[in-house]
Amino acid sequence: MEHVDLLIRMRDDCRDISPPAYMSEHASGMDLCAAVCDPIELAPGERALVPTGFHMALPPGYEAQVRPRSGLAVRHGISVVNAPGTIDADYRGEVKVVLINHGEEPFCIERGDRIAQMIVQPIVRANLKNVEQLPESARGHGGFGHTGTN
């Protein structure tokens, strides 16, 4: 298992908020907590940009992906709108999460609640080459649903 250094800085007014943390020995993602000053009630269908209280510096060649927490998704219909959200290595602003309520009931986000998870991944950059024709493949131009009915 590869390890990289992820530099983080908590906002001064967020010393009571847990920094990103792996919640089990083999967890892939670190849980992110809400650094809201006042509770946010998310009505069904509503979105909110939720601060996490920290800034970070990823090493070059890596990204962070923000993803929904499965428990919030299955129990309350809470998800990340742009899942996975991408944080680039050169971003230094506060990490924020765009949550949406797909559930049928309002959902309250309180200070310190675990709201999402963050995965750190290596990045491969593509060299784009403009060509006259692409190589053939068995799938060809088959689009959505082309490879099966399920």
Q: Are 24 and 31 in contact (CB under 8 A)?
A: no
130 occurs within a structural domain: no
CA 50 to the chain's CA centroid: 12
DSSP letter at 72 equals: H
- Which range marks the domain in which residue 44 is found? 7-122
pLDDT of 149 reads 61
For 88-107, what is the mean pLDDT? 98
16 occurs within a structural domain: yes
Q: In the chain, pLDDT over 90 holds for what percent of residues?
A: 89
Burial of 56 (0-12, 13-18, 19+ CB in 10 A): buried
For 100-120, what is the mean pLDDT? 98
pLDDT at 145 over 90: no
The span from the first CA to the last CA of the chain, in angstroms, equals 34
29 occurs within a structural domain: yes
Number of domains in the chain: 1
Hey, which residues does 41 pair with through a beta bridge?
A: 108
CATH of the domain at 80: 2.70.40.10
127 occurs within a structural domain: no
150 occurs within a structural domain: no
139 occurs within a structural domain: no
95 occurs within a structural domain: yes
- Give, in order, the Cα–Cα distances in Å from 119 to each of 9, 28, 41, 77: 18, 6, 26, 21
Whole-model pTM?
Answer: 0.89
Give the model confidence (pLDDT) of 49-75 as tens digits: 999 999 999 999 999 999 999 999 999
Q: Are 69 and 114 in contact (CB under 8 A)?
A: yes
pLDDT of 148 reads 65
